[in-house]
Amino acid sequence: MIPYFEERVGAGLAVLGARTADEDYSNVLSSLKRPHGEYFKMFYGDTAMFGSSSAFPTGMDYFGPDHVCFSTDAPFAPVAETFESLKRMELESDVQKKLYQTNAEKLMNRSFG
């Protein structure tokens, strides 16, 4: 969802605290060490798409192959459909390894191999 809403959220964060009367968040922006949009790119996306392939390229473009992990919405969505959806993407083998293994290892600080 972040790739689709980054511009809207980013515009709102740019005026954080200026439009609220209850709490003053204006000092939050000045305490950030980098532009607020860069923090979203530090998140990890996943491949849980209920078998759909259309959102995957957007997520990969936004997060990059180093910040996307394989996942499913099991038991709500069939796992096989997620695998089939990723096969249709015809990803390079090094990108597949990142999605299926090394990104999760990096994120969880453990080895699965």
How far apart are the C-alpha atoms of 27 and 90, rounded to whole Å? 46
- φ/ψ of 37, rounded to 5, equals -65, -30
Neighbours of 99 (CB within 10 A): 21
Same domain, 5 and 56: no
pLDDT tens, 4-63? Answer: 677 777 777 777 777 767 777 778 878 889 988 888 889 999 998 887 788 889 999 999
Structure tokens at 44: 């990890």
Residues 97 and 113 occupy one common structural domain: yes
Are 75 and 29 found together in one domain? no
What residue numbers bound the domain in which 21 lies? 1-40
Query: What pLDDT, on a 0 to 100 scale, did the predictor assign at position 43?
Result: 92
The total domain count for the chain is: 2
Q: Specify whether 15 is located in the same domain as 60.
A: no
Kindly state whether residues 28 and 54 are assigned to the same domain.
Answer: no
